[in-house]
Structure 1
Amino acid sequence: MSENKLVKDDHTLLVKTSTDDGVNQKAGKNLKNIALISTLGGLLFGVDTGVINGAIGYMATPQELNLSSSNEGLVTSGITLGAAFGAVWAGRLSDRIGRRRLLKYLSVLFFLCTLACAVAPNATLMIIFRALLGLAVGGASVIVPTYLSEISTPDIRGRLVTQNELMIVSGQLLAFIVNAILGNWFGHVSHIWRYMIGFGMIPAILLFFGMLIVPESPRWLVMANKLDDALEALKRIRPKEKDCKDEISQIQDTLNQESEIKQATFKDLTTPWIRRLVFIGIGLGVMQQFIGINIMMYYGTTILTQSGFAHNAALIANIGNGVVSVIATFIGMSIMNRVNRRSMLMSGIIGTTVSLLLIVLISAFLSDSPQLPIFVVLCTMMFLGFFQGFISPLVWLLLSEIFPQNLRGLGMGVSTFFLWFANFLVGYFFPILLNNVGMTRTFLVFVGFNILSFVFAYKCAPETRGKSLELIQMEFKYGETSGVQPEDK
């Protein structure tokens, strides 16, 4: 039964609502707001990786930073090299100081490095600051999903964690829109690329102030033996106080069980099934990047300009790529639990392969056609639809499913590092290839990578849908014909 308490203060009538049974009626809304604030880290990830798409064309000119194709690749991909290392240290650092505090520090790093990039006077400093910005990007890529999973309840955990993926592509779309507005309305302004990059400071400020009001992860607070603080944090996002106390007990039990499990180290790679599992994790991460997603995300404007668009028109057309990415992510999130993982993954790779092959054929045989730019932009949209809807969310889902608890730290750390490093290689070499062999042969190279990715997925990608984590581990350890069947789980 509700009880309304009227409190009069300086002629202002405030109504405080409580309930006899300790029900927090705003818990669901609080959880959504906290998730929205924390996923600003994902939005920053998207903005800072997507903004270079439009800015690189301006900063590469002789009047600006006068970038060679090699420096252009380093400016673009330096952020992913930094992200590879940021992803490695972020997890351990957040265990030491807390998820919330680390996200607050990362927001400061986002702001300072974005500002430094916006005012960088030469290519060398731009490359250095982009790499330092990558530390924040990599850290956010690990900590935001971790924080979301630890504040959510089991029934909404999948939806809440994948919300971060949606915020990443939304950040990239936002960057494309800002690039198009600044490029078309203020393209005559000197150093316009500095304003494009500087836009990333706005979500960094929002993340900083947001982290001042959200609670720390209850799981981390229990890890730090701050049980009263953990209870207060849970009271803000759980409807009933009794549920909060029960959840703290469950967290304590889980932590006690985890402390008894010996975590895998590099020495364990001598065990065949562990080595195979880590190899599959690395392969999935490298495959995801070599398929070519970031040639679209980083160089979409360059590709469209090469195909015949005027630069300002390419900035506008690139917004279509961002819109398709967001819609495809929505679709992928809605169907991933209804379709077998392997079928969905291989269908996506077939789609991206066909998309790139069409670009090769169109650029080779319609090079003089006025329709070439339209056909190319349609093919890039097709590529992004298949990748964002079928491949990207599935790779991250598989990585989260295939590693058993004692192998998760080693497996995810190594796989994520190689994923980001492959991202760096693609971003670095693409402009060099484009400059030396042209668009047709460059895309033909990525058609080859897609074919190899399909072979890898067909031979190595496991089917995990409908299987418990324990069954997945047993199948890797003893083989799928070991007598352990799905119905035994």
Structure 2
Amino acid sequence: MATKGDIEDENGSLSDPFVDHRKREAEEHCSSGNGGSMMVYISTFIASCGSFQFGYCAMGIASIICILEWIAIYIAPLLVVTGLAVAFAIGACVSWRTLALTGTVSSILLFVGLFFIPESPRWLAMFGRQREFEAALSKLRGLGSDISTEQADIEDSLAIIRQLPKISIPDLLSGRNIRLISIAVVLMAFQQLVGINGINYYAAEIFKSAGVSPSMGSILYSSTQVVITAIGATLVDRAGRRPLLMDSVFGLFIGNLLIGSSFLLKVYIASFSIGMGTIPWVLMSELFPLNIKAIGGSLVTLINWFGSWVISYSFFYLFSWSSVAIFYLYGSMCVLALIFTIKFVPETKGRTLEEIQALMD
């Protein structure tokens, strides 16, 4: 991400702690009792755990409260990339330390806002807290709204869930479940292995290597992501999951080749935004039966974050090794992802959960 510090002073680059003498000095201080490097590693670990835990809990709350499926498909990805675009724009005007501190503003607002979020109606109903369940649902839908139909639907769905067998981790690896989990896990792994977060995090370095203004390039890059994500969201139900996913992966392959030869990022980010960035999450929600959604979703989310860490950690070293070969490597991952999509990923557009399960048998 381009920041003012990156542009004005190369010594302020975010990559410096990985490559210059200050890392060695920090390690020497750490061994002599200073502990500077250890504090960096610990703070990074805590921040990562916090962002994962908050994001996972927020996603869980949203999935329970939001009855309208289109919110998850259309709005959520668009808000994510819009936030990324805002961060790129702010980063072009301030130093990376100031950019990091601005994140505390949204964190504080989110923390305060959590106190005003009502308890999940489904959770209350699950534990037999009927009066609180009705009050929470009424608050969410607006006082005076008729909640009788939705209340009955929730109670019926919970009755069905109670009849389903409880699932443990070994159960995920047996029978039909292993195929469902494998599709979701592999798609999430490929979502990261095509290189998206490495390119996102080091966009400034890539633009600088290409002789382009890091600030302007990053803003145009993130703006393209917002526009194409909005277009892709409207096509998810019209074009279908498989066609968009295959087009997206093929475009990513072409984009990686173009980045490797000419640093043309627009094709890459547009291809990612139209399919690979969103559809793995949509497919995960559609493929899993009700009784494995929680534990299966946790496993798939873990794989996604682990893949993000691997790509983010390795990108700078691979880019330093070869600014061309790294994108050809990501391109080879796109080829594998395309083959996997064609051979194993089902089309779920317009199908009910029962029809999808029958398709997987």
Task: Please state which band the TM-score falls in when normalised by the shorter chain.
Answer: 0.7 to 0.9
SS state of the match for residue 225, structure 2? helix
Alignment match, 1:67: 17
Alpha-carbon separation, structure 2, partners of 1:357 and 1:242: 55
Alignment match, 1:461: 345
Quick one: structure 1 residues 124 and 63, their matched pair in 2 at CA, closer, same or farther if it must change by over 3 Å?
Answer: farther
What amino acid does structure 1 have at the position aligned with 2:340?
Answer: F
Write the mapping of 1:21-36 to structure 2, written as runs, cut at 5 A. Answer: none
Q: Quick check: 1:218 aligned with 2:168?
A: no
Q: Deviations for 1:371-422, whole angstroms, at most 9, x for unmatched residues?
A: xxxxx3xx21221111112221111101111111222233222222112111
Alpha-carbon separation, structure 2, partners of 1:164 and 1:220: 22
SS state of the match for residue 113, structure 2? helix
Q: What is the CA-CA distance between 1:234 and the residue it aligns to?
A: 2.4
Q: What is the CA-CA distance between 1:244 and the residue it aligns to?
A: 2.0
Specify which of 233, 239, 248 is matched with residue 339 of structure 1. Answer: 239
Q: What is the CA-CA distance between 1:276 and the residue it aligns to?
A: 2.0
What amino acid does structure 1 have at the position aligned with 2:163?
Answer: E
Q: What is the CA-CA distance between 1:269 and the residue it aligns to?
A: 4.6
Q: Give the paired residue count.
A: 349
* Unaligned ranges ≥5, structure 2: 23-34
Quick one: structure 1 residues 53 and 407, their matched pair in 2 at CA, closer, same or farther if it must change by over 3 Å?
Answer: farther
Alignment match, 1:315: 215
Q: What is the CA-CA distance between 1:292 and the residue it aligns to?
A: 1.5
Q: Quick check: 1:423 aligned with 2:308?
A: yes
Specify which of 69, 89, 104 is matched with residue 157 of structure 1. Answer: 69
Specify which of 418, 440, 450 is matched with residue 334 of structure 2. Answer: 450
Q: Deviations for 1:138-186, whole angstroms, at most 9, x for unmatched residues?
A: 2233333332333334xx332256422222111111111111011xxxx
* Unaligned ranges ≥5, structure 1: 1-51, 73-120, 183-191, 363-375, 478-489
TM value normalised by structure 1: 0.65
Alignment match, 2:59: 145
Alpha-carbon separation, structure 1, partners of 2:102 and 2:81: 16
Alignment match, 2:27: none
Q: Quick check: 1:381 aligned with 2:266?
A: yes
Alpha-carbon separation, structure 2, partners of 1:56 and 1:125: 22
Q: Deviations for 1:244-277, whole angstroms, at most 9, x for unmatched residues?
A: 2443343233223212211222332553432222
Quick one: structure 1 residues 446 and 235, their matched pair in 2 at CA, closer, same or farther if it must change by over 3 Å?
Answer: same
Contact kept? 2:73, 2:233, Cα under 8 Å: no
Alignment match, 1:262: 165
Write the mapping of 1:398-409 to structure 2, written as runs, cut at 5 A. Answer: 398-409=283-294
Contact kept? 1:292, 1:446, Cα under 8 Å: yes
Larger-Rg structure: 1
What amino acid does structure 2 have at the position aligned with 1:289?
Answer: Q
Contact kept? 1:55, 1:197, Cα under 8 Å: no
Specify which of 228, 244, 253 is matched with residue 328 of structure 1. Answer: 228
Moved more, 261-270 or 293-302: 261-270
Q: Quick check: 1:166 aligned with 2:116?
A: no
Contact kept? 1:61, 1:67, Cα under 8 Å: no
Moved more, 60-69 or 204-213: 60-69
Quick one: structure 1 residues 63 and 340, their matched pair in 2 at CA, closer, same or farther if it must change by over 3 Å?
Answer: closer
Write the mapping of 1:240-319 to structure 2, written as runs, cut at 5 A. Answer: 241=144, 243-269=146-172, 271-309=174-212, 313-319=213-219
Q: What is the CA-CA distance between 1:225 and the residue it aligns to?
A: 3.4
SS state of the match for residue 251, structure 1? helix
TM value normalised by structure 2: 0.87
SS state of the match for residue 93, structure 2? helix
Q: What is the CA-CA distance between 1:239 and the residue it aligns to?
A: 5.4
Specify which of 88, 108, 122 is matched with residue 176 of structure 1. Answer: 88
Alpha-carbon separation, structure 1, partners of 2:182 and 2:20: 30
Alpha-carbon separation, structure 1, partners of 2:36 and 2:15: 6
Alpha-carbon separation, structure 1, partners of 2:14 and 2:330: 31
Contact kept? 2:4, 2:92, Cα under 8 Å: no
Contact kept? 2:289, 2:353, Cα under 8 Å: yes
Contact kept? 2:185, 2:300, Cα under 8 Å: yes
Alignment match, 1:354: 254
Q: What is the CA-CA distance between 1:238 and the residue it aligns to?
A: 2.4
Moved more, 403-412 or 447-456: 403-412
